Amino acid sequence: MEQVFTRDTKVRELVIKVPRSDELFKRHKIDFCCGGNRPLHEAATEKGVDEQQLLAELSDLYKKADEMKSSDSEDWTTKPYGELVDHIIHRHHHYLVNELPDLSFYVTKIFRVHGGSHPELANLHRTFHELKTELEHHLLKEEQNIFPAIREYEAVRGQTERDAALSQIDELESEHDHAGTLLRDIREITSDFTLPPDACTTYRMTYKRLEELESDMFQHVHLENNILFPRLEEEA
């Protein structure tokens, strides 16, 4: 992925282009919302932050995002179960564990600041937090129950272990379906993530990250519903 920013890129553009750069800016006390309409080097100088170090940290975040996208292009249909499970946990579960609390903060923030003129944000706030709660419970169920059962089956290859691995698949797929419904609701509430004319940088970033959450969930559920679970069900 070609790097798309320089020292002259405005802070508000960086927070949109570079995943999780908002956390970096918060750590350095750099305002990326109301004060984000200025070049990176100017914001760094004001806060006494080393410009080259800041650029290096941004580049690292950008590179990591590129590497995560590349990992999605793997052919997982023939990989060992344990390797696929590890990928799902490290690529998708860890993403959700980090992203859901951040998005909760930003969805709440834009609702509080802009909810008076954009009443749909109340519905977005409610729907997102329903999704967040369900996904957090779902991840625990997978990591504590189904994934260990799949690993045990791969190690032993016994029918008892296979039955244990298959026992919760219908329930997990039903939860995937409901999460998909909530994601569709979020897309409808936001009019396909269309920003209003008065959207600030935080508003723009929140919608972008909600859309990225949707994309990640599609890939996550695809790996489980279309690859992992069918392989278990079809294996003799």
Question: How far is 157 from 80, CA to CA, in rounded Å?
Answer: 13
3 state DSSP class of 78 = coil
Burial class (CB in 10 A: 0-12, 13-18, 19+), 20: middle
The token pair at 63 is 């590179």
What lies within 8 Å, CB to CB, of 143 at 6+ separation is 89, 93
- pLDDT on residue 1: 52
pLDDT-based confidence at residue 96 (cuts at 50, 70, 90): very high
Question: How far is 151 from 80, CA to CA, in rounded Å?
Answer: 10
Percent residues over pLDDT 70 in the chain: 97
Percent residues over pLDDT 90 in the chain: 81
The mean per-residue pLDDT over the stretch 123-137 comes to: 98
Residue with token string 């779902």: 138
Question: How far is 99 from 77, CA to CA, in rounded Å?
Answer: 27
The closest of 70, 223, 68, 74 to 150, measured between CA atoms, is: 223
pLDDT of 101 over the 80 cut: yes
pLDDT-based confidence at residue 35 (cuts at 50, 70, 90): confident
pLDDT digits (tens, 9 = 90+) for 173-232: 999 999 999 999 999 999 999 999 999 999 999 999 999 999 999 999 999 999 999 999
pLDDT of 126 over the 80 cut: yes
The mean per-residue pLDDT over the stretch 120-139 comes to: 98
Sign of CA dihedral 188, 226, 87, 68: negative
Q: Decide: 141 and 173 in contact? Cβ < 8 Å.
A: no
What lies within 8 Å, CB to CB, of 89 at 6+ separation is 143, 147
- pLDDT on residue 16: 85
The closest of 45, 34, 47, 33 to 8, measured between CA atoms, is: 45
pLDDT of 129 over the 90 cut: yes
pTM of the model: 0.86
